[in-house]
Every structure is written in C-alpha cells, then in structure tokens.
C-alpha cells in the first residue's frame, strides 16, 4: 500500500504555483536617458486652387505654341517670302530710280526746247506790248503834230491872200497826204507783225499740246 502524501506538501505546492505564474512588476529605471530626437513635422499638402490649375497648363501650352511657331516650316517659308518680297521691293525701287534717271535725262533736251520756246513766247509778248505802246505813242505824237501843223497853217494862211493862200493850202495838203501815207504804211507793217506773232503763238500752243500728249503717253507706258 503506497504511502499517503502529506496535505502540507500539497498545500505548499498550491500556494507556490500561482505566485510563480504572475509576471514580475516593472520598476522605474534609475538610468539617465539622453535628449529625445526632434519629431519630424508632418508634411502639409496645401489644396491647389482652380486658378493655378488652369494657369499652369495655359502657360505651358503658350510656350509650346511659340516654340512650334518659331520652328514650323510655315514660318520658315513666311520668312523666306518676306525676305523675297523685301528683295523684290528693293529691285523695284532700284529699277524705278534707274528709270527715273534715264527718263529725266532723255527728257532734258525736250524740256530745254520747251522752256526756250516759252521764253521766245514771252519775248514775243513783250515785243507786242512794246509795239502797241509805240503805236499809241505814235498816234499821240501824230495828233499833237496835226494840232501844231493846223495852228501853224492858220498863222501862215493869215499872211497870204488871194492866189498865194490857195497855193499854200495845196502845198500843205500834199504834205499832209504824204504824212498820212507814211502812217498807213507803218500801220500795215504793224498789222503784218501782229499776224505773224499770232501765227507763232498758235504754232507754239500746238507744240505744247503735242508735248503734253507725248508726256502722258510715256507715263502711261
């Protein structure tokens, strides 16, 4: 028969087992701890406004369009066309200058002849004015001479009587007729000169009209 275990031993075991199962209590450590590292600040993401969202792609798109416009073959051809048009304008201006110089050189003799004829026309007008003036002065002198002659004739007739007076009147009448004939002859020469003057003026006017027509035709061509 086995020996009986003592109740005291079993009670001791029961008393020791729950104490052993409990965890040991933590005690505050007396060791000094160094300064803790600074905590990192949390990155805050700001809300992007709608304006910035719309502006940034527009600026990028504008920049890309500018670069494309600078590099596109259309702009290259446009620049070539502009350069070609500038060269064409320079050539046209040079040709115009050459044409104008040649035109005025060719027109020089014609203009000289025209101004010479204009000067001759002015001279003819001055000569006509001088002739008219001389004719008026000659008529005035004629009237004055007739007055003087009549006064002298009366004075001289008073000295004569009878047949001598008749002979004196006849002689004075013959002198007056000769004077009138001379005056009429001078008037005829003046009329001929005026007719020639008018004929010359008509010729110059026709030549001037022809020159104007030629100049207009050359400008049109």
pLDDT of residue 33: 47
Is residue 145 in some structural domain?
A: yes
pLDDT of residue 48: 47
6-19 burial: b if 16+ Cβ within 10 Å, else e: eeeeeeeeeeeeee
pLDDT of residue 76: 52
On whether the CB atoms of residues 168 and 156 are closer than 8 A, the answer is yes
Is residue 11 in some structural domain?
A: no
pLDDT of residue 183: 81
Q: How far is CA 134 from CA 56, 127, 131, 171, in A?
A: 100, 10, 5, 29
pLDDT < 70 positions in the chain: 1-95, 98-104, 107, 221
- Could you give the CA distance from residue 166 to residue 185 in angstroms, rounded to a whole number? 29
Domain that holds residue 135: 57-220
pTM over 0.85: no
Is residue 115 in some structural domain?
A: yes
Is residue 188 in some structural domain?
A: yes
pLDDT of residue 159: 79
- 192 φ, ψ (degrees, to nearest 5): -65, -40
Total structural domains within the chain: 1
Query: Residues 114-166: pLDDT tens digits?
Result: 788 788 878 877 887 887 888 888 889 888 887 887 787 788 777 777 788 78
């Amino acid at each position: 028969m086995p020996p009986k275990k003592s109740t005291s031993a079993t009670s001791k075991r029961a008393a020791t087992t729950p104490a052993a199962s409990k965890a040991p209590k933590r005690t505050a450590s007396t060791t000094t701890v160094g300064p803790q590292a600074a905590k990192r600040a949390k990155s805050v993401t700001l809300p992007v406004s709608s304006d910035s969202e719309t502006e940034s792609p527009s600026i990028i798109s504008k920049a890309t369009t500018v670069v494309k416009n600078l590099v596109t073959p259309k702009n290259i051809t446009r620049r070539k066309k502009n350069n070609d048009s500038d060269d064409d304008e320079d050539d046209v201006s040079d040709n115009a200058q050459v044409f104008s110089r040649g035109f005025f050189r060719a027109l020089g003799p014609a203009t000289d002849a025209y101004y010479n004829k204009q000067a001759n026309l002015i001279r003819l007008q001055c000569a006509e004015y001088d002739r008219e003036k001389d004719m008026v002065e000659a008529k005035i002198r004629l009237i004055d001479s007739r007055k003087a002659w009549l006064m002298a004739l009366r004075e001289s007739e008073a000295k004569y009587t009878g047949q001598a007076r008749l002979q004196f009147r006849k002689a004075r009448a013959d002198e007056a007729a000769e004077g009138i004939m001379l005056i009429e002859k001078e008037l005829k020469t003046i009329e001929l000169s005026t007719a020639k003057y008018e004929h010359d003026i008509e010729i110059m006017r026709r030549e001037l009209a022809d020159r104007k027509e030629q100049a207009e035709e050359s400008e049109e061509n």
